[in-house]
Amino acid sequence: MTESAVATKAAPNRLLALWSSVIGKKVVMALTGAILVGFVIAHMVGNIKIFNGPVEINAYSRFLREVGYPELGYGQLLWIVRIVLLISVVLHITAATQLTIMNRKARPIGYESKKDVETTWAALTMRWGGVLLAVFIVFHLFHFTAGMVGFQPGQFEHLMVYQNVVAGFQVVPIALFYILAMCALCLHLDHGIWSGLQTLGWVTTDNTKSLRTISRLIAIVIFAGFISVPISVLAGWVR
Amino acid sequence: MNLTLKVWRQQDAKAAGKFVSYQVQGVTPDMSFLEMLDLLNEDLQTRGEAPVVFEHDCREGICGSCGFLINGVAHGGHRGTTVCQLSMRFFKDGDSLTLEPWRAKAFPVLRDLAVDRSAFDRIIQAGGFISAPTGGAPDANAILVPKNDAERAFDAAACIGCGACVAACPNAAAMLFTSAKITHLNSLPQGQPQRDQRTLDMVAAMSDEDFGSCTNHGECEAVCPKEIPIEFIGRMNRDLIHATLHRRGD
């Protein structure tokens, strides 16, 4: 009996036992990834309401805070969602970091001649693309959520989503950084969605091609939806 | 035909190795890759030099002894083919080939192109078996096996444990190997009594070795001489989740 097999059995909590195994960490990455993909789709759908004009999207931002009343108070559901997302992001990054450290240690002497035959650029950029996304998310929260960076004093106004987005994206470097981050998101999801399904054991030799295609389509639709906003602002279509 | 080989030479596990170039002359298209190396070794021995060490046994592609990278691809890049079954007719006069051993912390180089793969044996020892009483051979049809299960078990059992999956994996993970061995026994009725324990123990043994973990690049599947699909890794994951969350009190 190996040492960690004993440790796995001795773990009092079954979820803890799962987390302590290599495969369990991958499962956590897949499940938290699924939560984050769901959020990103909802976020994108909310964003493109900007094309319906200021009244509608600003009303939508109030709706997000008022939904659930009277069971939940103003903004409470939003905070519940934020906490779930924060926990998901922390678990996703923690598992990724632990697995990456382990994977680096597994090949201390590298190859001189090794060629990749099957992998994709999306798969190879998962780690650094993920780091870029983490940096972007922090900036994005300070930018559009808090209005603490990227705005002239007094320019950012809470709940005035339309006006904030237009003013925010009129700063060209910020709009370009946003588009760059969305490229990273697109690549991350192209590999990530399919990869999560594979980790959970839903991919078979029969459906792998179609699941890869669906994964890519979802990534592209999310990408197109997100970048349509800064491009429209930069082009002057939304002002 | 004449070839230029750039071969990894390393005296023993502790020595520092380096690439050494050799010319091989008089290679014919009907030779296998290993026969071409035999030719090189005869020449080296005639000149009083140490032959290039590589593992081999059956030379029929079924024992799993042979394997190294040829120009950066495990087993040389012909789907479903071990180096011993790789024909020299795929190469042409003047080709320049780089031969490099499997690289993984769990597979230390023993000498030249031979690596120590006993980490695989320890994974098998942890649960790659069924505990059945010995005695007379049971009736052939005493235990019925559904056709699909039998086919899947057979596909998984085709794994020869050569280690190409670990060598090709960007993370040096042994998940294709371990999943093939788990899928083989977990698919059959005879494997059911120990299914959960086997999965837990073999995954734990895999983690105890210095292997990495899967990031779903699919490099392993592409170089596997037995074409084991990465679908089995998903099956192993499902079995592990089930075994961890649903096992009865102990």
- Report pLDDT digits (tens) over A116-141: 999 999 999 999 999 999 999 999 99
pLDDT reading at A19 higher than 60: yes
Q: B3-110: which CATH number, 3.40.50.11750, 3.90.1510.10, 3.40.50.720, 3.10.20.30?
A: 3.10.20.30
CA distance, residue B151 to nearest chain A CA (Å): 14
pLDDT tens string B45-94: 999 999 999 999 999 999 999 999 999 999 999 999 999 999 999 999 99
> What is the C-alpha to C-alpha distance for residues A68 and A75, in angstroms, rounded to an integer?
9
Tell me, what's the pLDDT at B249?
56
Inter-chain contact B69–A111, Cβ cutoff 8 Å?
yes
Contacts of A202 in chain B (CB under 8 A): 234
Best residue in B231, B232, B235 for a mutation probing chain A (most A CBs within 10 Å): B231
Task: Grade residue A1 by pLDDT with cuts at 50, 70 and 90.
Answer: very low
Is this structure's pTM higher than 0.90? yes
Angle at B114 between CA A2 and CA B86, to 5 degrees: 115
Contacts of B236 in chain A (CB under 8 A): 23
CATH 3.10.20.30 in chain B, residues?
3-110
Inter-chain contact B100–A21, Cβ cutoff 8 Å?
no
Q: What percent of chain B has pLDDT over 70?
A: 98
pLDDT reading at A231 higher than 70: yes
Residue of A25, A107, A119 lying closest to B219 (CB–CB):
A119
3-state helix, strand, coil in chain A (%, to 5): 75, 0, 25
Tell me, what's the pLDDT at B137?
84
Inter-chain contact B204–A21, Cβ cutoff 8 Å?
yes
Inter-chain contact A18–B229, Cβ cutoff 8 Å?
no
Contacts of A198 in chain B (CB under 8 A): 216, 230, 233-234
CATH 1.10.1060.10 in chain B, residues?
118-246
pLDDT tens string A172-211: 999 999 999 999 999 999 999 999 999 999 999 899 999 9
Inter-chain contact A106–B105, Cβ cutoff 8 Å?
yes
Contacts of A124 in chain B (CB under 8 A): 170, 217
Residue of B73, B212, B238 lying closest to A102 (CB–CB):
B212
Inter-chain contact A115–B73, Cβ cutoff 8 Å?
yes
pLDDT reading at A4 higher than 50: no
CA torsion angle for B169, B58, B236, A17 (degrees, to 10)? -80
CATH of domain B118-246: 1.10.1060.10
Phi-psi region of B237 (alpha: psi -120 to 50; beta: other; left: phi over 0): alpha
CATH of domain A3-235: 1.20.1300
CA distance, residue B143 to nearest chain A CA (Å): 27
Tell me, what's the pLDDT at A7?
46
Helices (H), A116-235: 121-124, 126-140, 161-169, 172-199, 208-235
Please tell me whether the interface predicted TM-score (ipTM) of this complex is above 0.85.
Answer: yes
Tell me the Cα Rg of chain A.
21
